[in-house]
Structure 1
């Protein structure tokens, strides 16, 4: 481990060469980032930006906060208790409709991670007719599930929907339900297989649901033009590149700081999550965002399609 950390220290030193040292008398700008969940492989780019010195080189002192409530992050930013929230694109339309002044300013994971996971002898979506399916979040999950089932000729009235809160894996393992909607393919799916369960995963984007970003950064609308937002996204892009070049070194450093990450599940999740990390975090795919908002509107999750710039921006394209 010492050898690995020494190699990483050399890497981090080299990463700082040629960037331009920040004046010693300029205090870094503190940025509090509330995560969507406990620290895990989804946050690898954030850890890499910390360990590579990217945040520091851009004049930022970044603090990562794991919330007690998985749904707390947007509320904390809206209340001024944090600067950025890691949240979900699927929630953006609903937040906007509720009048919560939050705007997407970047992306952490730019592919879907949610999946419909079934246990036992269910091998096709058609096999779910008459079965019990657990969900966590009404609204977007309903729209996604209904769309997926419809591609196999199964209606929502043909299944038994059960709200299992965020206990998706436990509900499936206890046989309380036959399948769960919204489980993460790079976490719960891996864990279920490691625990010996026979499961089948169905992916929304392969069954009629538009592609979307899984995890995004939300900032208060009044702060989206602040210089620290652009500095954060530039640093994150640099950190992501370091992560892709040296994933094992970043993981070793993360495990040294967070020993709870040193499990077969987290190591497997780290490997499977890397290809899904946004390479250009600030970049906004306007076509995809509009398509997903239209999808939510068509399925009654939101009552109208708000103008894109009211809920999602590329901070580098904004005038100061």
Structure 2
């Protein structure tokens, strides 16, 4: 299950499907879109699906609550989240957001990212008016006159809002104290890994092949997606296509375990986790013996 509507960030998954790479490797893969961005990880934890696309901060949050989730692959190496602030207001920095109406669409935005972004400036989440916008970012910003939005779609949402006459400026999370992290990851159910290792390795092999072709043939890849996923062909996605390719993980199976350990240590230091979840429980290298 994807984490969002199909977009450039899902390019490796989509190309592997439409080029028949999964099928050639003996895999039967179905890609689905959730009705709510909170659903994929929870359905995975409940054993209702076998893989979920997610984001590293959400994994830390849910694993800390005891959900049996583990990263098995990386689709996008770099952060994709950010705080988009509407132009024309007085919110020049995070500390001036007190009293403002802030939209969010993901659980980790509300529980982790906004608190850690604001805390160094002495602002608490309780001082904001938070609005759950689900998938409706553009409509909600326009209709509810939100002052800012915490989004996992910082490469596409500014253009989407701009096309509706709403100018924004971007605060990149990693430039405001939040550690660098992987923007898009593939999760499995840790309790079910035992019987899935070989299948998951083939999934990652398919994604590696698809990513290599994407990086070698970006124009042909975009043409393929235009033909097979017509809804993906929007001005915002066209603008984001090449910048997203620069962020794709060329080795989806490769694991930087220290990255997960550092993010956990940061959460503990910020008082957002009582004890760090061991990095080995958060992320798995399926290529290891």
Answer whether TM exceeds 0.5 for this pair: yes
Q: Which residue of 1 aligns with 2:170?
A: 201
Q: For residues 199-245 of structure 1, give each alpha carbon's deviation from its aligned partner in whole angstroms, at most 9, with x where no partner exists.
A: 11110001111011121111122225620111111221111010111
From the CA coordinates, give the structure whose radius of gyration is larger.
1
Secondary structure at the counterpart of residue 246 of structure 2: helix
Is 1:172 aligned with 2:132? no
TM-fit CA distance, 1:84: 0.8
Aligned length: 284
Q: Which residue of 2 aligns with 1:238?
A: 209
Residues 302, 137 of structure 1: alpha-carbon distance in 2 compared, 3 angstrom cutoff: farther
TM-fit CA distance, 1:276: 1.3
Q: Which residue of 2 aligns with 1:86?
A: 53
Q: Which residue of 1 aligns with 2:193?
A: 223
Q: Which residue of 2 aligns with 1:133?
A: 102
Q: Aligned partners of 1:146 and 1:255: how far apart in 2? A: 38
Query: After superposition, where does 1:5-20 map in structure 2 within 5 Å?
Result: none
TM-fit CA distance, 1:36: 0.6
Residues 76, 199 of structure 1: alpha-carbon distance in 2 compared, 3 angstrom cutoff: same
Q: Which residue of 1 aligns with 2:153?
A: 184
Mark the runs of 5 or more structure 1 residues left unpaired by the alignment: 1-33
Q: Aligned partners of 2:123 and 2:77: how far apart in 1? A: 29
Mark the runs of 5 or more structure 2 residues left unpaired by the alignment: none
Query: After superposition, where does 1:22-171 map in structure 2 within 5 Å?
Result: 34-122=1-89, 124-125=92-93, 126-137=95-106, 140-150=109-119, 153-156=121-124, 159-166=127-134, 167-171=136-140
**TM-score, scaled relative to structure 2:** 0.88
Q: Which residue of 1 aligns with 2:243?
A: 272
Contact preservation (8 Å) 1:51, 1:250: no
Q: Aligned partners of 2:273 and 2:282: how far apart in 1? A: 14
Q: For residues 166-207 of structure 1, give each alpha carbon's deviation from its aligned partner in whole angstroms, at most 9, with x where no partner exists.
A: 244333223532111235211212211232322111100011
Q: For residues 276-297 of structure 1, give each alpha carbon's deviation from its aligned partner in whole angstroms, at most 9, with x where no partner exists.
A: 1111111111121111112223
Residues 137, 60 of structure 1: alpha-carbon distance in 2 compared, 3 angstrom cutoff: closer
Deviating more after overlay: 296-305 vs 63-72: 296-305
Deviating more after overlay: 223-232 vs 130-139: 130-139
Q: Aligned partners of 2:206 and 2:100: how far apart in 1? A: 47
RMSD: 2.3
Q: Aligned partners of 2:125 and 2:60: how far apart in 1? A: 26
**TM-score, scaled relative to structure 1:** 0.80
Secondary structure at the counterpart of residue 162 of structure 1: strand
Correspondence for 1:214 among 180, 183, 186: 183
Q: Aligned partners of 1:130 and 1:79: how far apart in 2? A: 38
